[in-house]
Amino acid sequence: MAGEEISPSSYDYAIVGSGAGGGAAACNLAKAAQRVVLLEAGGDHENYNYQVPALIGLATEDEDLRWDYYVRHYASDERQRHDSKFVPDRDEVLYPGVGTLGGCTAHNDMNGPAVGRVSVEREVIVSAGAFNISQLLKLLGEGSREELTDLGIEVRVDHPRVGENLRDGQEVGVIYEMKPVLKAHTLNTAGKVTLRSDDPRIVPHINFHSFDEGNDTSGDDLEALVEGLKFVRRIMGRTGEVVEKESVSGKCVSTRELIREFARNEAWGHHAPCTCKMGLKEDEMAVVDNDYRVRDHKAEGGGRVGLPSHPRFLHRYGRVHDQREGERCHPRRRDGGNMV
Ranges of each domain in the chain = 5-339
pLDDT at 182: 53
Instruction: Point out the residues of the chain with pLDDT beneath 70.
Output: 1-9, 48, 51, 53-56, 102-116, 174-184, 297-340
pLDDT at 112: 42
Q: Are 196 and 202 in contact (CB under 8 A)?
A: yes
Main-chain dihedrals φ then ψ at residue 156, nearest 5 degrees: -95, -45
pLDDT at 160: 92
Instruction: Give the separation between CA 262 and CA 83, rounded to whole angstroms.
Output: 9
Within 8 A by CB and 6+ apart from 12, the residues are 29, 34, 35, 36, 120, 121, 122, 123
Q: 189-199: per-residue pLDDT in tens?
A: 999 999 999 99
pLDDT at 339: 37
Provide the residue type at 157 as one letter: V
The kind and range of the H/E element at 256 are helix 256-266
Q: 69-113: per-residue pLDDT in tens?
A: 899 999 999 999 999 999 999 999 988 877 777 666 654 443 544
pLDDT at 155: 95
Instruction: Give the separation between CA 199 and CA 146, rounded to whole angstroms.
Output: 17
Instruction: Give the separation between CA 36 and CA 33, rounded to whole angstroms.
Output: 9
Instruction: Give the separation between CA 183 and CA 165, rounded to whole angstroms.
Output: 17
Instruction: Give the separation between CA 117 and CA 5, rounded to whole angstroms.
Output: 9
5-339: CATH number = 3.50.50.60
Q: Are 48 and 67 in contact (CB under 8 A)?
A: no
